[in-house]
Amino acid sequence: PHPKFSIGFGPSYVYAIQYIRTKLNLKQVLPLLDGDGQIEAWPQADGFIWNAGILMGPWAGVKIGMSYMSREMLNMEGELKAKSLIPNFPLELEGRYANTKVIPETVRMGVNWQIDDTWQVGFDWTWWHWNIFETSYTYVSGNPLIDALSPLVQPKHNSNGWNLGMGMEYRIDDDWTWMCGADFDKTPIPDETFNVDNPTDRKSGG
């Protein structure tokens, strides 16, 4: 709408597919059994998210940008296979698996300053609304033994995540540019809920 002000909007279609293989203690189903079982599942889901942003150039050499991306709750569903890993207790079952995955709301802001023809610096900040994901519930069904496991409850207690970054560029000549930068994440995952699903504290993904 103006040489120093731009706006943008975009929709996105999301398709997610996941392969899950996890062990469980069969005593949860049959107290007399001492050993492990295994669950495999192939859930999938789709959905839509949208994003909008503005870019401003209020002063010569300076650009300021801000954007927002919507959240989406993906209802993952698919086939499930369960089996016993106890040699003298062969058991294989089939059923259904359902779980919800979250794409969090995201807010981004940044500024870039073109100091002169050779130097420019930039800063950006990103925030993820991860604390909407308090608890993960997994529902399995299709057989009385499988039904006995449902729901599988996994506390998350996520806080919100954020990332701060900065960078600098020096243009040596038309062919060579020197660049450096630094980046820091604040994880949304509390210490008490670290598990094999979250092997890193860098869930923010900066």
DSSP per-residue codes, 32-100: T--SEEEEEEEEEEEEEEEEEEEEE--STTEEEEEEEE--EEEEEEEEEEEEE--TT---EEEEEEEEE
- pLDDT tens-digit series, residues 117-159: 999 999 999 999 988 888 888 888 888 877 877 888 888 888 8
As to burial, measured by CB atoms within 10 angstroms (0-12 exposed, 13-18 middle, 19+ buried), residue 23 is: exposed
What pLDDT band is residue 194 in, cutting at 50, 70 and 90? Answer: low
Q: Which of 98, 81, 94, 93 is nearest to 43 (CA)?
A: 98
Q: Which of 192, 188, 72, 59 is nearest to 126 (CA)?
A: 188
As to burial, measured by CB atoms within 10 angstroms (0-12 exposed, 13-18 middle, 19+ buried), residue 182 is: exposed
Please tell me the distance from the alpha carbon of residue 106 to that of residue 202, in angstroms, as a whole number. 16
How far, in Å, are 67, 77, 179 from residue 16 at the CA level? 24, 10, 35
Residue 179 has pLDDT above 80, yes or no: yes
Please tell me the distance from the alpha carbon of residue 158 to that of residue 187, in angstroms, as a whole number. 9
Run of H or E residues at 7? strand 5-17
Please tell me the distance from the alpha carbon of residue 5 to that of residue 93, in angstroms, as a whole number. 60
- Contact (CB, 8 A) for 71 and 51: no
147 Cα distance to chain centroid: 28
What pLDDT band is residue 193 in, cutting at 50, 70 and 90? Answer: low
- pLDDT tens-digit series, residues 21-42: 888 777 776 777 778 888 899 9
pTM for the model: 0.76
